[in-house]
Amino acid sequence: MTKEKLIVALDFPTLKEAQACVEACGDEVCYYKVGMELYYSAGHEILSFLKKHHKKIFLDLKLQDIPNTVGRAMRVLTRLKVDMINVHAVGGLKMMQAAQESARQEAAALGIEAPKLLAVTVLTSMDEESFAALNYKVPIASQVIALAKLAQEAGLDGVVASAKEAAQIRAACGKDFLIVTPGVRPAGADTQDQSRVTTPAQAIQNGANYLVVGRPITQAADAQRAAREIQAQICEGSL
């Protein structure tokens, strides 16, 4: 089951490149994240492809709008029958409640399990300086905890956050709350535009349920090997 903890971000502009990555990763990866770039260019095709290959899907579209609009969007996204979907927590309690209600109602009408709903807290690319420039007067960690509690109050299943804040989220929201952490880099790897990074083992030890990894796998010369190494580090962290 630890293999499911690794979610590979298919950040590609075309279906062809995404398919090549899935094929290269083979059995090492069973969970994929489809974000804006790929969804906007080849959404339906990539979802069908992943389902045909029995892969799980996290649809990372980070919805944020007025509650009515997000609720209506979530209703149609639920029909795509993916495993996980997210919204921005800064959209507020009512927006998250609308998302949760719509997903639950639509799933019940379809007779399917509702997708897990996650709230994005503070992007892992943010550092304290860029966060403060948004006029927030608190450290990132306290904003992350406040947003995680709000997401839980709205009935969401969990949050997307940096593994640096995972232990505090776990303490504040309990053992059943899902924590999905991007910003994961194997020791010594390039951090690119990510700021609040940890290694795979650290992320698991801090209480993350799922790790989202993109470029360290998708840009590797041997994607399967890169995935296998990260899977080994996840196992190490789980011991």
212 lies in the site for ligand C5P, by CB under 6 A: yes
- The residue among 88 and 106 lying less far from ligand C5P, judged by its C-beta, is 88
What are the helix and strand counts (H, E) for the chain?
A: 10, 8
9 touching ligand C5P, by CB under 6 A: yes
Question: Looking at the annotation, which residues are catalytic?
Answer: 62
Q: Under the criterion CB under 6 A, does residue 35 sit at the interface with ligand C5P?
A: yes
- Binding range to ligand C5P, per CB under 6 A, among 44-52, 149-157, 206-214, 222-230: 206-214
- Pick out residues in 167-186 that bind ligand C5P (CB under 6 A): 182-183
Q: What residues between 39 and 98 interact with ligand C5P by CB under 6 A? A: 60
Amino acid letter for position 43: G
Size of the site for ligand C5P (CB under 6 A): 16
CB of 118 to ligand C5P, least distance (A): 9
**Interface residue with ligand C5P, options 5, 6, 11, 147 (CB under 6 A):** 11
Residue 224 amino acid letter? Q
Other beta carbons less than 10 A from residue 164's beta carbon: 20
**Minimum CB distance to ligand C5P, residue 211 (Å):** 9
Residue number with CB closer to ligand C5P (91 or 214): 214
Please answer whether residues 233 and 201 qualify as being in contact, where contact means their C-beta atoms are separated by less than 8 angstroms: yes
Binding site for ligand C5P (CB under 6 A): 9, 11, 35, 60, 120, 123-124, 160, 182-183, 192, 194, 212-215
